[in-house]
Amino acid sequence: MRGVRSLVTLAVAASVGCAEWVAPRPGLTEQDEAMLAAMVSKGAPGDPSNEFLADDAVAELGQQLFFDRGLSNVATDGGFALATQGVPCVQCHAPTTGFSDPRTVRNVSLGLGWTGRNTPTLLNVAFYEWWGWDGRADTLWGQAVHAYEAAPTMGGDPLRLARALFDRYPDRYRALFNQSLPEELDPRHPNAARFERPRSPEAEAELRRIYERSLKAWGAYLSRLVSLDAPFDRFAQGDDHALSEGARRGLLLFIGKAGCVQCHRGPMFTDNQFHGVGVGQSGPNVPSVDTGRFTGLERLKANPFRRSVEVATPTEADVGRFRTKGLRNVALTGPFMHAGQLETLKDVVWFYNRGGDRAGAGPASVFLEPLGLGEREQGDLVLFLEALNGAPPAARWACDNSRPTFVGMKREFGAACAVIP
């Protein structure tokens, strides 16, 4: 383990380069300091494929679509009670729990059906290279297609979304994109059939344009859910008092003996790669098999809005691999792992301490071996993980600015804020 660790530290140190030399603090080596400096975020990488990314007004429309209950299909049987009123994105990604699901104690989420996977946080979601536990999207707004259309989440489709926009935000749409929504999207319009299947090529093109703009509005909104400046960052930037003694010892384990940094590295504590840590498919409503990256690649290939031209062909080695989860704000977003199999951070540390499990569908990662950490060391690692909670995103992005779907509707998913007509 130590051998691998020094390779990683050297590689990180080399990639950081040497600015002016400052003596490392007691207990830290020069390489440690270089690695810590590389873990302080310098901001999101941006997304050249989303031309609306910098536009706050489009992001506000994305926020309305995020909170709106009128976009989803409705439950036919058994879905969460609210589904009779429609499922909004925020039902699973609530501001109160770091934009993860407040209703999941264990294991997975309920929309129109059971999702089969644990709902991840949306804080800092713009900072990744892949989205979904299986990397099914290679842009943030491309992930919104899966989020909206998946049968167990919202069961949406382009026509449903366009009709909802026509019904609820036509003036806003015109103001932002300098173009009116076609009247035929009104189901009562005599030419409404133009948008039903089979569609004319012009109706198809128009629908795609409306859909793409909506997905990008979601993307622009989600990129504003930024939460940095955790105690860890202040420590990494030289404030020795930012971490408690225990959290500081935990940090040294994280980048040292426990080897976490082999995978959880960089500003988001992820290598943006896929690994099998072997966590089993256990718990209520968890499917017995989840092939992870294998199906993720197939889904990426099927995504009409993907950026990659070439998509690798999935192989046996992809089975059971999942994306290394970013760890910022992790203490807010339990349960943990792709199907919420582990309830607390203590459970997670205990899982790694025993060398992971061999129960997942694929070959276990070569890195995992028992760590031999004592009780106190395990507790210190948890204290360190808790020091990764950042400042919450600006309040204007955490409130419900959607149009109510009916008069007197209660705002259950965060404070109401001004509805822009």
The binding site for ligand HEC (CB under 6 A) comprises 66, 87, 89, 91-93, 109, 111, 115, 117, 119-120, 122, 125, 131-134, 143-144, 147-148, 153-154, 218, 222, 258-260, 262-264, 275, 277, 279, 322, 324-325, 327, 330, 333, 336-338, 345, 348-349, 352, 365, 367-368, 381
Task: Compare residues 181 and 215 and give the one whose CB is closer to ligand HEC.
Answer: 215
Closest by Cα among 130, 57, 15, 41 to 420: 57
CB within 8 A of 162, min separation 6: which ones?
Answer: 181, 185, 195, 207, 210, 211, 214
Q: What is the DSSP letter of 327?
A: -
Task: Compare residues 83 and 203 and give the one whose CB is closer to ligand HEC.
Answer: 83
- Could you tell me the smallest distance in angstroms from the CB atom of residue 339 to ligand HEC? 7
Paired tokens of 379: 């507790």
Helix (H, G, I), strand (E, B) or coil at 235: helix
Task: Compare residues 59 and 327 and give the one whose CB is closer to ligand HEC.
Answer: 327
Task: Compare residues 135 and 184 and give the one whose CB is closer to ligand HEC.
Answer: 135
Task: Kindly tell me the sign of the dihedral angle through the C-alpha atoms of 357, 358, 359, 365.
Answer: positive
385 within 8 A of 378, measured Cβ to Cβ = no
- Could you tell me the smallest distance in angstroms from the CB atom of residue 292 to ligand HEC? 7
- Could you tell me the smallest distance in angstroms from the CB atom of residue 385 to ligand HEC? 6
- Could you tell me the smallest distance in angstroms from the CB atom of residue 190 to ligand HEC? 31
The Cβ of residue 387 has, within 10 Å, a number of other Cβ atoms equal to: 22
Task: Compare residues 34 and 330 and give the one whose CB is closer to ligand HEC.
Answer: 330
- Could you tell me the smallest distance in angstroms from the CB atom of residue 403 to ligand HEC? 16
Task: Compare residues 120 and 158 and give the one whose CB is closer to ligand HEC.
Answer: 120
The Cβ of residue 360 has, within 10 Å, a number of other Cβ atoms equal to: 26
- Could you tell me the smallest distance in angstroms from the CB atom of residue 105 to ligand HEC? 14
Paired tokens of 261: 């940094």
DSSP element (H, E) containing 323: strand 322-323
Task: Kindly tell me the sign of the dihedral angle through the C-alpha atoms of 95, 379, 326, 361.
Answer: negative
- Could you tell me the smallest distance in angstroms from the CB atom of residue 369 to ligand HEC? 10
- Could you tell me the smallest distance in angstroms from the CB atom of residue 382 to ligand HEC? 8
Task: Compare residues 166 and 254 and give the one whose CB is closer to ligand HEC.
Answer: 254
Task: Compare residues 327 and 383 and give the one whose CB is closer to ligand HEC.
Answer: 327
Task: Compare residues 13 and 253 and give the one whose CB is closer to ligand HEC.
Answer: 253
146 within 8 A of 154, measured Cβ to Cβ = no
Helix (H, G, I), strand (E, B) or coil at 274: strand
- Could you tell me the smallest distance in angstroms from the CB atom of residue 400 to ligand HEC? 14
Taking phi over 0 as left and psi of -120 to 50 as alpha, with beta for the rest, 151 belongs to alpha
Helix (H, G, I), strand (E, B) or coil at 415: coil
Task: Compare residues 88 and 184 and give the one whose CB is closer to ligand HEC.
Answer: 88
- Could you tell me the smallest distance in angstroms from the CB atom of residue 407 to ligand HEC? 24
Q: Cα Rg for the chain, rounded, in angstroms?
A: 23
- Could you tell me the smallest distance in angstroms from the CB atom of residue 53 to ligand HEC? 14
Closest by Cα among 412, 398, 108, 36 to 252: 36
What's the distance, Cα to Cα, between the start and end of the chain in Å? 58
The alpha carbon torsion through 237, 243, 245, 248 (nearest 10 deg) reads -60
∠ CA(102), CA(106), CA(108), 5° rounding? 75
- The C-alpha atoms of residue 10 and residue 348 are separated, in whole angstroms, by 27
- The C-alpha atoms of residue 321 and residue 362 are separated, in whole angstroms, by 7
Task: Compare residues 125 and 236 and give the one whose CB is closer to ligand HEC.
Answer: 125
- The C-alpha atoms of residue 343 and residue 382 are separated, in whole angstroms, by 13
